[in-house]
Chains A and B, each alone.
Chain A
Amino acid sequence: MSKNIWSKMAEVDRRVLYWVMFIALAIPFISPIGLPVPVTETTKAVYDKVETLGPKNIALFSIAGGVSAWPEIAPSMVAVMRHLVKREVKIVVWGFFVDQDITLDMILTNVPELKTKYKYGEDWVYMGYIAGAETAVAQLASDVHAVFKADKYGTTIDKLPLMQRVKTAKDIDLVLTVDTGSYILYYIRHWNVGKGVPVAEIGIAMQADMIVYYPVNLVGVMIGVRGGAEYEKLIGRLADGTVRMDAINVSHILFIIAIVLANIGFIMVRRMKK
């Protein structure tokens, strides 16, 4: 009998696991937990860097993540954009994902100041999609105008006052790369190491260790949902990231419980076999 219990514990059907996860994730949306989110150094570093910028500075907001990653990175994108707008920093947006227009639409919906407070062409511009991956990043570092002849909406680059100030990487004061893959490495190689431009990352949780490998090259890294929640706390405007942290808490605890139970079952079964 006892053997059955242990082996069952070690081999729970995956459908049961899926249901447990689904129900557990639903609970905090019905009854929020609302645990405090301590701010990590890597997120604080990004915030501090943006705090040093002002109306005379230009930030590059590079979208290198698809809409599929919104559950993780949308809160960070919105929070950082809100901060940039609050600091009145000039913003250049471009990207490397074919669905980035939808991402920008989402940001514009959540940060309406970009439409009301900011003047397009002077305070911010959207240059659109660029193919070419690392080569494109390298080329943009040395000659932006060679890559872009017009913005996303067809306005030629010479008619965009902000783009008259942006010719090479050296005209940018901070790169914020929204990243689900390798673009952070491209920016480090060609913008930071090559041109000395500060680079920060808005990344998925999997990229948490980037800052460990490139502590000199990266200003900071905002890690997944937590990075967004932390940034919301720093700018004093709690939003989606803070809400989603409940799901992170529940799912992580569930992972640990499942791993512990599986191992208890596994060890007991092995002992009994001996």
Chain B
Amino acid sequence: MSNVLRRREIILFITGIVGGLNLFEYFFAVKEVAAVASTIRTWVVVISAFALGLGIITAFRVHISHVKRRTKGQWPFSIWLMGFFVLLTLIGLWNPKFIVYDWTFKNVYVALSTTLYAITGFYIFSAAYRAFRARNIEAAILIISGVLILLRNAPIGEAIWTGFPILGEWVLMKGQVGGMRTLTFVAAVGLVAFGIRTLLGMERGYYGGE
């Protein structure tokens, strides 16, 4: 039975029906098709929720493996992760308003999350210092554009010279638009081609094929 369910034709058939119906519904207003497409999309929402559970199982498999193998520099953290996960899940199921549960999220999770995000600023600072070198004309143009955008985004740019925001605005709204729009269109065309290939069964990566 499992071999039948794994057959390539069944996967391609489901992909074709689901993709085709939703594409048709997007471009043509046919009530009957819309109803079926709507039901399929609701299923996707439900299946995606199950994916969260699958993620938990996968995470546990990875971390149990680290603990078993005593992976250097990792396994103690794996124990912490799994321990906290189980503890917070149990407390959350018992009483989400419990003070420890609430406190942990508001004072540990939030603080750590925002700190990690803020730390990227330091990395970007260091990276900009090292990478933004005027090795040639193109790199110099990139640096000047970047500096103008920085001076546009921060009010101090305008405080230094009122022309900076105007120049920065030009770079943002005009200078880079042509190139980026081209890239966006190219990516969109590529995505359409990829979609067609998937619907026709020519792309196999998404179901583990080669």
Contact = CB atoms under 8 A, between A and B. Distances in A.
B26 interface: yes
A212 B173 contact: yes
Contacts of A226: 153-155
Contacts of B147: 256, 259
Given A212-B172, A213-B180, A136 B48 contact: yes
A196 B61 CA distance: 45
Interface in B25-58: 26, 34, 38-39, 41-42, 44-45, 47-49, 51-52
B129 interface: yes
A135 B22 CA distance: 10
Contacts of B173: 212
Interface in A214-262: 223-224, 226, 245, 248-249, 251-256, 258-259, 262
Nearest to A14: B126
Interface stretch (A50-58, A110-118, A139-147): A139-147
A71 B119 CA distance: 11
B180 to A, nearest CB: 7
A105 B102 CA distance: 11
Chain A interface, >50% SS class: helix
Given A131-B45, A212-B172, A254-B125, A37 B133 contact: no
Contacts of B121: 21, 251
B38 A262 contact: no
A194 interface: yes
A26 to B, nearest CB: 13
A135 B133 contact: no
A102 interface: yes
A150 interface: no
Interface residues of A, number: 58
> Is the interface on chain B under 10, 10 to 19, 20 to 34, or 35 or more residues?
35 or more
B175 to A, nearest CB: 10
A139 B41 contact: yes
A51 B75 CA distance: 55
A146 B38 contact: yes
A262 B130 contact: yes
A154 interface: no
A12 interface: yes
Contacts of B118: 71
A259 B129 contact: yes
B121 to A, nearest CB: 7
Contacts of B113: 66-68, 70, 99
Interface in B73-121: 105-106, 109-110, 113-114, 116-118, 121
Contact of B38 (A17, A142, A194, A258): A142
A213 B184 contact: yes
A102 B106 CA distance: 7
Interface stretch (B62-70, B157-165, B193-201): B157-165
B44 A209 contact: no
A110 to B, nearest CB: 14
B142 to A, nearest CB: 11
Contacts of A102: 105-106, 109-110
A35 interface: yes
A135 B143 CA distance: 39
B10 interface: no
B189 interface: no
A256 B109 contact: no
A115 B130 CA distance: 50
14 contacts: A37-B155, A68-B113, A98-B52, A131-B51, A135-B44, A138-B22, A205-B153, A209-B180, A226-B154, A255-B125, A255-B128, A262-B133, A263-B134, A266-B134
Interface of B: 22, 26, 34, 38-39, 41-42, 44-45, 47-49, 51-52, 105-106, 109-110, 113-114, 116-118, 121-122, 125-126, 128-130, 132-134, 143, 146-147, 150-151, 153-159, 165, 172-173, 176-177, 180-181, 184
